[in-house]
Amino acid sequence: MKWQRIALMLTIISLLAAPLAWSQGGNAEQQIKRSIDQAITAMMKADTNSLEKLLADDFTAIHSDGTFFTKAQEIESVKSGTLKWDKVDVQDLKIRVYGNTAITTMQTSFKGSAPSGNPYSGTNRSTRVWVKQQGEWKCVSYQVTRVPSAS
């Protein structure tokens, strides 16, 4: 009888806590998906203020050409127009959460332009590592690989 009361209390507490968790931004997968969407939008709009918030201070990126960027370099490339996306389609997004760390993999098809104005497009596969810092998911690492076009 005592265990039944404890089980009932735990069930009630769980049912009361779930809406509270959802009202605070949803589960980790939803929060990270929202962060990815925000990062893509920020890149397309050259919104460096949003990128500043989404990238961890010790963020590093390895781009498809092998270049290594710090957070400051990544933000400068967006600010200067070196990196400009006009359209990005995300496919095959996978989010794996391990406590306060998450790993995302995805494929993106993109169109953009170089500083010279020359258009470019292609498909990439990428991995991002996210860490929850002071209640916010921050991207700490990004690596992208170009997918060869089918010819």
DSSP-derived letter for residue 1 is -
- Percent of the chain at pLDDT > 70 equals 80
Could you report the per-residue pLDDT of 66-81, keeping only the tens digit for each? 999 999 999 998 888 8
- Domain annotation for the chain: domains and CATH numbers: 27-147 (3.10.450.50)
The mean-pLDDT minimum among 1-5, 36-40, 44-48 falls in 1-5
Q: What is the pLDDT of residue 22?
A: 39
Q: What is the pLDDT of residue 39?
A: 92
Beta-strand pair 55-62/136-147: parallel
| Cβ count near 44 (within 10 Å) | 16
Q: How far apart are CA 88 and CA 12, in angstroms?
A: 43
150 contact partners, CB below 8 Å, separation of at least 6: none
The arithmetic mean of pLDDT across residues 105-112, rounded, is 92
